Amino acid sequence: MKKYNVIDLFCGAGGFSKGFEMSDKFKTLYGIDIEEQPLKTFQKNHEGKGIKYNIREEIPEYILDDKIDIVIGSPPCQGFSDAKGSRKLDDERNDLAFHYIRWVSKINPKIAIMENVAGMLTINDDFVKEIIRRFNKIGYEVNYEILNSSNYGVPQNRKRAIFIAINKKFNIKPTFPKFNVKTTVGEALSDIPDKVNNEDGIVNYSEKKPINKFQRIMRKKNFTEKLYNHEAKFPKEKDMYLVKNLDEGKMYRSTRFGDKYEGVWDVFSKDFTYEERLILWFIARHRGRKKYKATNKSGPDYIPEDIIIESINKNPKVEREAIKYNFKEILDKNIDISINMIRKLYEDGWIRRKEVNDNYCYDISTKGGLRPRYMRLNRKDQSNTILTVDFDAREKLHPYLNRGLSLREGARIQSFPDDFIFEGDFSSIATQIGNAVPPLLSFAIAEHIYRLLNKNKINSFFETEDIVKEKEDERLVLFNS
Alpha-carbon dihedral sign for residues 51, 112, 45, 233:
positive
What residues contact residue 341 under an 8 Å CB cut-off, 6+ apart? 273, 275, 276, 279
Write down the pLDDT at residue 457: 45
Write down the pLDDT at residue 79: 54
In degrees, rounded to 5, the angle at the alpha carbon of residue 303 between the alpha carbons of residues 301 and 307 is 150
Write down the pLDDT at residue 352: 97
Write down the pLDDT at residue 223: 58
- Domains of the chain, by residue range, sit at 4-182+437-454, 250-364
Residue 457: DSSP 8-state: -
Kindly state the helix (H) or strand (E) to which residue 408 belongs, with its residue range.
Answer: helix 407-413
Write down the pLDDT at residue 207: 75
Write down the pLDDT at residue 89: 53
CB atoms within 10 A of CB 262: 24
Kindly state the helix (H) or strand (E) to which residue 145 belongs, with its residue range.
Answer: strand 140-148
Instruction: For the chain, count helices (H), then strands (E).
Output: 16, 14
Write down the pLDDT at residue 480: 45
Residue 53: half-sphere exposure toward Cβ, Cα within 13 Å:
19
Query: Beta strand pairing status for 4-9 and 70-73?
Result: parallel
Whether 302 contacts 362, CB under 8 Å:
yes
The CATH class of 4-182+437-454 is alpha beta
- Which portions of the chain are predicted below pLDDT 50? 83-87, 457-481
Query: Beta strand pairing status for 4-9 and 26-33?
Result: parallel
Annotated active-site residue 11? The verdict is no
- The one catalytic residue among 70, 72, 77, 312: 77
Report the distance separating Cα 111 and Cα 115, nearest Å: 13
Write down the pLDDT at residue 60: 96
Closest residue by Cα to residue 196 from 401, 395, 379: 401
What residues contact residue 65 under an 8 Å CB cut-off, 6+ apart? none
Write down the pLDDT at residue 250: 96
Write down the pLDDT at residue 120: 79
User: How far is CA 3 from each of CA 21, 32, 106, 254, rounded to the nearest angstrom?
Assistant: 10, 20, 21, 54
Whether 9 contacts 54, CB under 8 Å:
no
CB burial class (10 A; 0-12, 13-18, 19+) of residue 414?
buried
Residue type, 330: I
Write down the pLDDT at residue 471: 35
Question: 274-286 vs 305-314: helix axis angle to the nearest 10?
Answer: 110
